[in-house]
Amino acid sequence: MSRTRVVITGLGAITPLGNTVKETWSALLEGRSGVGPITLFDASAFITRIAAEVKGFDPVTELGHKLARRVDRFAQFALVATRQAIEHAKLIVNEANRDRIGSIIGTGIGGIGTIVEEMRKFLERGPKWVSPFTVPMMLPDTAAGQVAIAFGLRGPNMAVVTACASSTNAIGEAAEMIRRGDADVMVAGGAEAGIVSVAMAGFNNMDAISKRNDHPEGASRPFDLYRDGFVAAEGGAAMVLESYEQAMSRRAPILAEVLGYASTNDAFHITAPAQSGAGAAACMRLALQDAELAPRQIEYINAHGTSTKLNDMSETAAIKNVFGEAAYDIPVSSTKSMTGHMLGAAGAIEALFCVKAIEEKVLPPTINYETPDPDCDLDYVPNYKRTKDLRYVMSNSFGFGGHNATLILGKVDGNSDVHGT
Q: Which residues contact 232 (CB under 8 A, 6 or more apart)?
A: 51, 52, 194, 195, 199, 200, 203, 209, 340, 341, 343
Q: What is the pLDDT of residue 1?
A: 61
Confidence of residue 420 (pLDDT cuts 50, 70, 90): very low
Cross-strand pairs, 393? 300, 409
Per-residue pLDDT averaged across 285-306, rounded?
Answer: 98
Residue 395's pLDDT is 98
Catalytic residues, by residue number, are 164, 304, 341
What pLDDT score does 276 carry? 85
Numbers of helices and strands, H then E, in the chain = 14, 14
* Residue percentage of the chain with pLDDT more than 90: 94
- The reply to whether the predicted model has a pTM over 0.75 is yes
pLDDT given at position 270: 80
What the chain holds in terms of domains, given with CATH numbers, is 6-249 (3.40.47.10), 260-410 (3.40.47.10)
The answer to whether the beta carbons of residues 42 and 266 sit under 8 Å apart is: no
d(CA 6, CA 159): 20
Say how far apart CA 364 and CA 102 lie, in whole Å: 31
Query: Whole-number mean pLDDT of the chain?
Result: 96
For 382-404, write each residue's pLDDT tens digit. 999 999 999 999 999 999 999 99
Q: Are 36 and 219 in contact (CB under 8 A)?
A: no
Amino acid letter for position 130: V
Tell whether the model's pLDDT for residue 374 goes beyond 60: yes
pLDDT at 419 over 60: no
pLDDT at 421: 41
**363 Cβ contact list (under 8 Å, min separation 6):** 300, 331, 333, 357, 381, 385, 386, 387, 388, 390
Q: What is the C-alpha to C-alpha distance for residues 415 and 248, in angstroms, rounded to an integer?
A: 9
Measured at the alpha carbon of residue 393, what is the angle toward residues 391 and 397, in degrees to the nearest 5? Answer: 165
Interval 237-260 mean pLDDT:
97
163-202 confidence digits (pLDDT tens): 999 999 999 999 999 999 999 999 999 999 999 999 999 9
For the chain, the first-to-last Cα distance in angstroms comes to 35
pLDDT digits (tens, 9 = 90+) for 52-90: 999 999 999 999 999 999 999 999 999 999 999 999 999
Nearest to 353 by CA among 400, 302, 418: 302
pLDDT in tens, 116-172: 999 999 999 999 999 999 999 999 999 999 999 999 999 999 999 999 999 999 999
If DSSP codes are grouped into helix, strand and coil, which group holds residue 238?
A: strand
Percent of the chain with pLDDT over 70: 98
Please give the pLDDT value at position 418: 38
Q: What is the pLDDT of residue 103?
A: 98
Residue-by-residue DSSP string for 42-85:
--TTSS--EEB---S--HHHHH-HHHHHHS-HHHHHHHHHHHHH
Higher-confidence residue of 418 and 197: namely 197
pLDDT(272) > 90: no
Q: What pLDDT score was predicted for residue 414?
A: 61
Alpha helices in 157-308 (DSSP H): 166-179, 197-205, 244-249, 278-291
The per-residue pLDDT for 273 is 83
